[in-house]
A = this chain, B = another copy of it.
């Protein structure tokens, strides 16, 4: 019955709403992410609950439903997806499928009036992403890109430090997201399912988090891709992308993503007064945030919270209060445009100019700190 070194959760998270009143989700896809992260996140969420599971593997779907207190009747296969329409307790779907399937299920969900939370990247390509935003608008359902890293205490502290000027004027950023994919048969390495390689999967974190931290959009990119010759894993999708981005404020950012090296996820921001480091920057737990000046290196101790629960609960809050999510479809769509430009630069071996955006947070909706404000 003691307290912990890291700040306590209770200051941030009261008792959840009654389960019956929570926003209900149908989860599509029961892979490792769903089992290891999303189902526990729903279990501890403040205002979000698992209401149904959808999978081709009926036995697994039933086991999952029962494990979390649902019934066999809550397990659906994809053919019966539209039956969810009649489920008043299913307010939204959480799409946890291979990238190129996001569009189809977004369209099917929109048509039956369910809100859509889509895993990142928003889609397997730019056209699909545009279609997803469009269809949700047409059917009056909300669409949110599951950008976990725009909802955690560490990333918000990092953004606040930058936006409040604690690092001085920002000059440079560097970010890495690499991991080792060893199984040549997995869907991430199949172009038809993934729509691209390391950029769409892990490089997207660098891209997205830098945009979030700076609240501005890049004006130019230069990129190189590389795949180890004769490596059967990288026949269809790229192994590595290294790119540079310039921002209107003068910030230059360098990023590396890869499927071919031992995992590292880090982000460094260099300001006139201080350097800020997130390392690990994108992990599910144990993020570490340091600020280094000429005299000191300071680690910020922040509470360890379920990052997925924070993300999902934000969407629930937006559904309940009819707000635009902080990372709506438009936010995911913008990354899709930038990734298309990155691929183009690599193909053509030259820098690519991008459309100029004046507005801060040009594609973002209501910030997650309002989730609590509304409840107070």
Determine whether A250 belongs to the interface, using a CB cutoff of 8 Å to chain B: yes
For residue A228, which residues in chain B have a CB less than 8 angstroms away from its CB? 250
Interchain residue pairs with CB less than 8 A apart (18): A1-B31, A1-B96, A1-B201, A4-B283, A4-B285, A7-B294, A8-B36, A10-B32, A16-B68, A18-B66, A176-B270, A242-B244, A242-B254, A244-B244, A252-B256, A264-B275, A285-B285, A294-B301
Binds B, one of A130-138, A167-175, A330-338, A360-368: A167-175
For residue A119, which residues in chain B have a CB less than 8 angstroms away from its CB? 1
CB pair A294 B252 closer than 8 Å? no
CB pair A68 B282 closer than 8 Å? no
Determine whether A9 belongs to the interface, using a CB cutoff of 8 Å to chain B: yes
> Per-residue CB proximity of A117-141 to B under 8 Å, as 1/0?
0011000000000000000000000
Determine whether A145 belongs to the interface, using a CB cutoff of 8 Å to chain B: no
Q: Closest Cβ of chain B: how far from A182's Cβ, in Å?
A: 10
Copies in the complex: 4
Given contacts A5-B280, A36-B8, A285-B6, contact A171 B301 (CB under 8 A): no
10 nearest A-B residue pairs (beta carbon): A18-B66, A285-B304, A43-B43, A19-B69, A261-B270, A4-B283, A171-B261, A16-B67, A40-B44, A10-B36
> Per-residue CB proximity of A24-35 to B under 8 Å, as 1/0?
000000011101
CB pair B272 A261 closer than 8 Å? yes
For residue A344, which residues in chain B have a CB less than 8 angstroms away from its CB? none
Cβ < 8 Å to B, chain A residues 286-332: 286, 292-301, 304
- Other A-B pairs beyond A4-B283, A6-B283, A263-B294, 8, CB < 8 Å: A4-B284, A13-B36, A15-B67, A19-B67, A19-B68, A168-B261, A296-B301, A304-B304
CB pair B10 A35 closer than 8 Å? yes
Q: Closest Cβ of chain B: how far from A295's Cβ, in Å?
A: 6
Given contacts A224-B222, A228-B250, A244-B242, contact A36 B64 (CB under 8 A): no
A253 nearest CB neighbor, chain B only: B242
- How many angstroms between the C-alpha atoms of A97 and B288 in the bound complex? 34
- How many angstroms between the C-alpha atoms of A274 and B301 in the bound complex? 14
Q: Closest Cβ of chain B: how far from A346's Cβ, in Å?
A: 11
Determine whether A2 belongs to the interface, using a CB cutoff of 8 Å to chain B: yes
